[in-house]
Each structure stands twice: as C-alpha cells, then as structure tokens.
Structure 1
Amino acid sequence: MKQGIHPDYQKVVFMDSATGAKFLAGSTMKSNETVDYEGNTYPLIRVEVTSDSHPFYTGKQKFAQADGRIEKFNKKYGLNK
C-alpha cells in the first residue's frame, strides 16, 4: 500500500440528537467535544438521524399525509363511490 494517502481513523462516539442514543464507530471526523463512553474518553459527533430515530428502523412511519392526499385526489376527480 502507498504510504501517506490513507486518512487517519480514530474511534468516535456518534450521538443521536433526537433520542440521545450513542454508539462507537471508527471515523475520520474530528470534534472538539469529548464524552466518556464505556470507561474511555472519545470525541463526540452529534448527528440528526440514526437507526435509533429514523422511521424506517423504528417502524413509526407517518402515513397521515399520504392518506389525506389520496382523499383529496378522489374528491377532486370524483372517484369516491
């Protein structure tokens, strides 16, 4: 392998801003914040969405808008029977 072309990986803690869930992963991201996680201190990266809060993984998807759009379409074009 060529030397000097690969990024420096380090262990960092990603924290979901919505739920507060944390997980440890390798990353090239840098941060000024640190957090104690499982007895060690790691850089902290805050993220908006993780598998802990994303509707696809939680099963809490919102279908209210889709239902409203279908009803509106049927009402507009007279397809309600």
Structure 2
Amino acid sequence: MKPNIHPEYHPVVFLDTTTGFKFLTGSTKNSSETIEWEDGNTYPLIRAEVTSDSHPFYTGRQKFTQADGRVDRFNKKYGIKDTNAAE
C-alpha cells in the first residue's frame, strides 16, 4: 500500500435514528457531533437511518416507527389542513 494516502481509522459511535440503537466501531468517517460512550470516553457520533438493528434483512421483520405517509408528514410539518379528511 502507498503511504500517506489512506484516511485515518478511529473509533466512532453510530446511532440508528429510527430505533435509537447505538454501537461503537472503527470507521474513517468524521463528525462534529460527539457522544460519551459507556466506557467514559468521548467519540464522534454518526447518525444513520438504517443499521442492522432496523433493516428488515437483519431483523427478519419490518419495524415501523411512523405510520404516516409522506404527504401526511409534509402536511403535519408545514401545518397544512386536509380539507378532504372525514371529520
């Protein structure tokens, strides 16, 4: 391998934003966010939407944290009322 061309490999905490699952592993990714781990040390925090804790291939089932569809989430976020909804 050529010297001085590979990124630095260091410990990083990954957080599954879907389930809240955290794990410590080595990575070349950097982050400005940090978190204190169980061992008392502070590590960079990388937020991930899908990890082995939430992906159906690893879990064997779907984990639904939010049942709303895209349109419903958009309307809720921007305060748009659905005029066609049954009251």
Both structures adopt the same fold (TM-score exceeding 0.5): yes
Superposed CA deviations along residues 10-29 of structure 1, whole A, max 9, x for unmatched, are 11000000001011111111
- Which has more radius of gyration? 1
User: So what's the TM-score if we normalise by structure 1?
Assistant: 0.69
Which residue of structure 2 aligns with residue 9 of structure 1? 9
Runs of 4+ in 1 over 3 A off after TM superposition: none
Instruction: Name the structure with the higher strand share.
Output: 1
Match of 1:18 in 2: 18
State the AA in 1 paired with 2:30. K
Structure 2: 5+ residue runs without aligned partners? 63-87
The number of residue pairs the alignment matches comes to 62
What are the Cα deviations for residues 10-69 of structure 1, in whole angstroms up to 9, with x where unaligned? Answer: 1100000000101111111110100011211000000010010011111114xxxxxxxx
Q: How many angstroms does 1:2 deviate by? A: 3.2
How much identity, in percent, do the aligned residues show?
70
1:47 maps to 48
| TM-score, with length taken from structure 2 | 0.64
Separation in structure 1 between the aligned mates of residue 3 and residue 59 of structure 2, nearest angstrom = 42
